[in-house]
C-alpha cells in the first residue's frame, strides 16, 4: 500500500506525523540522535535497577539486604518516564514506520507484560520487603517472577533494536 493510501486509511497517523513534535524531530539534525541517547540512558536506569533487584532475588549477592535496592525503584520509574517521552517523540517522527512494524508491536506487548509481571511481584511476593535482609533466600515464586522479568526486559531491548531492521508491513 502506498503512502498516500496509508495516509487516507490512517488519518490519526497522518495527524501524529505532522504534530509539532513530529516535525521537530524530522527537521532537526540533532533531535533524533539526542533522543536515542536519552532513550538508552532511560533504559539503563530502568533495567539497571530492575535487573539488580531481580538478580538479588535470584540469589546473586545474597549478602545484600534487598530493601536498599527496593529504595532505588524511583530511579527505574524516572528511566521509564524518559523512555516513554522519547518513545512518543520517535513515534511522532514517523508513525507509519512504528505502527506497522512487528518488532515495535512486540516491544509494546512485552512492556505491558513486564508491567504485569512487576505488579505480580509487588502484590504477590514483595509485600514484606523489610524482612528480606542479608542472606535471606527468596521464595521459588519470587525467583520465577524475577527470572521472567529479566527475560522480558531482554526481549524489550532486542525488539527495540530490531525496529530499525525489520521492515513495516
The C-alpha atoms of residue 63 and residue 12 are separated, in whole angstroms, by 53
Q: At what angle do helices 31-57 and 20-27 cross, to 10 degrees?
A: 100
pLDDT in tens, 25-45: 999 999 999 999 999 999 999
Q: What share of the chain is helix, strand, coil (3-state, %, to 5)?
A: 75, 0, 25
Burial of residue 160, with CB atoms counted within 10 A of its CB: 0-12 exposed, 13-18 middle, 19 or more buried: buried
Length of the chain: 169
pTM over 0.75: yes
Whether the Cβ atoms of residue 22 and residue 16 lie closer than 8 Å to each other: yes
pLDDT in tens, 144-168: 999 999 999 999 999 999 998 887 6
Q: Which three cell numbers stand for residue 20?
A: 509539532
Three-point CA angle 138, 81, 76, nearest 5°:
25
Domains of the chain, by residue range, sit at 9-162
Q: How far is CA 163 from the centre of its chain?
A: 14
Amino acid at each position: 500500500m502506498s503512502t498516500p493510501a496509508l495516509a487516507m486509511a490512517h488519518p490519526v497517523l497522518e495527524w501524529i506525523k505532522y504534530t509539532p513534535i513530529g516535525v521537530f524531530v524530522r527537521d532537526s539534525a540533532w533531535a533524533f540522535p539526542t533522543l536515542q541517547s536519552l532513550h538508552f540512558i532511560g533504559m539503563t536506569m530502568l533495567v539497571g535497577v530492575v535487573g539488580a533487584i531481580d538478580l538479588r532475588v535470584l540469589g546473586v549477592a545474597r549478602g545484600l539486604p534487598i530493601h536498599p535496592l527496593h529504595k532505588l525503584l524511583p530511579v527505574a520509574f524516572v528511566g521509564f518516564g524518559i523512555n516513554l517521552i522519547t518513545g512518543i517523540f520517535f513515534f511522532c517522527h514517523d508513525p507509519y514506520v512504528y505502527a506497522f512494524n512487528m518488532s515495535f508491536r512486540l516491544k509494546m506487548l512485552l512492556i505491558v507484560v513486564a508491567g504485569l509481571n512487576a505488579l505480580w511481584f509487588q502484590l504477590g511476593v514483595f509485600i514484606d520487603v523489610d524482612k528480606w535482609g542479608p542472606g535471606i533466600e527468596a521464595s521459588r515464586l519470587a525467583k520465577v517472577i524475577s527470572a521472567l522479568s529479566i527475560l522480558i526486559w531482554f526481549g524489550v531491548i532486542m525488539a527495540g533494536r530490531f525496529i530499525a531492521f525489520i521492515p513495516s508491513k
